[in-house]
Amino acid sequence: MQIFRRVLMVGFAALTAVGGGCQDESSLVDGVFTEAEMTTVRTLGPLPPPAVDTTNRYGDDAKVAQLGQRLFFDPGYSGAIVTGSDGKNGGLGAKGETGKVSCRSCHLGDWMIDNRSQPNGTSLGIDWFFRNSPSLVNVTYYDEQFGWVGFNDDLWGKNLIPAEFVMGTDRSGIVHYLYKKYKAEYNALFSPPLPDALDPTHPEAARFPMSATPIGGTGPAGLAWKAMTAADQDSINRAYANFGKALAAYERLLVSRNAPFDRYVSGELSAISTSAKRGLKLFIGKAACNACHSEANFSDEKFHNTGVSQIGMYVLKAPDFDPGRFGGVDVYRDWDFKAQGAYSDDRSVKRDPIPAAGQVDVKLKGAFRTKGLRNVAMTAPYMHTGHMTTLKEVVEFYNQGGGTRDFAGGKDPLMKPLNLTATEIDDLVAFMQTLTGQPVPAALLQTPAGL
């Protein structure tokens, strides 16, 4: 009998030890997350209001934002179309036509994505571009890396890239357009006012060529820029910077918050499904998505090579493929409109040092900035090539450890197979679908009167 009691006691102790090693569901947050996991979850939300951008003193000026909305929807300043409409490609006009392409042309609908160009991977504006047009909803939540490769470290400066690189115009052409169509509005908002010599009938109109830019090289626009005085170059640059700041003031209103995930983090436990909760646990655990998709915008704003193959008709092909950040640094370095540049309203803002020419880390070849995941379920197609059409494709891509061929550089060491099951992939997708916030106010998506 004593032996029998000892066996029972040993058995009970063993069971107690095993039970103590398991997580008691009653001690879990919502029956799913440990306290440590929930602490991590709370770093991802809820999404707060956008932070003030001190480099743009006009960033929260309502009247400047109204001008910015007009400029965003106005196609009048765009140059000659290179690839015209063939009735199938979604082209915006006939070859050679001008004034046909606006910012809105490639950022359409409620979620400001390109659903016009065909094929849909990359965008057809003046000509075919070699990357997908990302959504501008919540773009103001990026802190210092804007665009796929971080062409600039402030939003207003990034806004100035398309005009000179993809819209067939340049900074002098933009400023002339501001004088022609928006002189009164501009002068009421910005100081100093636009120079009177921008009037083509002015006796000194030759001071301001219709086309002039420092990135024009030895072409006519570049030579015209070099012929200008430093003071007149500064006048053009300052007005051009204000053009970008007005666009940014408008874009800062394109905010989508209060997603189901945010409500869940705030304590509404029924805001997301059981599948989504499992997906969230994977996101911060086994799948380790938050190693890059971190903080409330779900982006570390760093550059990673995930091995995205250059698939699509108009992407950059072999032998070099798309260099990503490796090539973008050179544009960033030479751009006049950085946060610490002459046209910033707060030059004390610190950004990462820019590598000198010839000293860009080779690891940045094929690397792209981590995209925020807010509203990601609404913003297909995916990747800079736009060749993935569903979130499930994206998760499957990461599950296999990224791509294996046809991309520049070498993959980030973080890219390893995740060994997710089919159910776990579905759960991750379910979680990402909870990141869709409330729509942007309809008035911000309407073409202003008179355009």
Sketch out the chain's domains with CATH numbers. 62-255 (1.10.760.10)
55, 58, 75, 131, 372 from 137: Cα distances, Å: 20, 19, 20, 18, 11
- pLDDT for 25 equals 67
Q: How confident is the model at residue 20 (pLDDT cuts 50, 70, 90)?
A: very low
pTM over 0.95: no
Contact status, residue 357 vs residue 117, Cβ threshold 8 Å: no
The CA-CA-CA angle for residues 341, 343, 344, to 5°, reads: 70
**Beta-strand pair 368-369/303-304:** antiparallel
358, 439, 448 from 257: Cα distances, Å: 42, 8, 24
Contact status, residue 121 vs residue 115, Cβ threshold 8 Å: no
Tokens of 247: 């666009």
pLDDT in tens, 24-82: 666 899 999 999 999 999 999 999 999 999 999 999 999 999 999 999 999 999 999 99
pLDDT in tens, 263-319: 999 999 999 999 999 999 999 999 999 999 999 999 999 999 999 999 999 999 999
Q: How confident is the model at residue 5 (pLDDT cuts 50, 70, 90)?
A: very low
- pLDDT for 22 equals 53
- In whole angstroms, give the CA distance from residue 183 to residue 202: 15
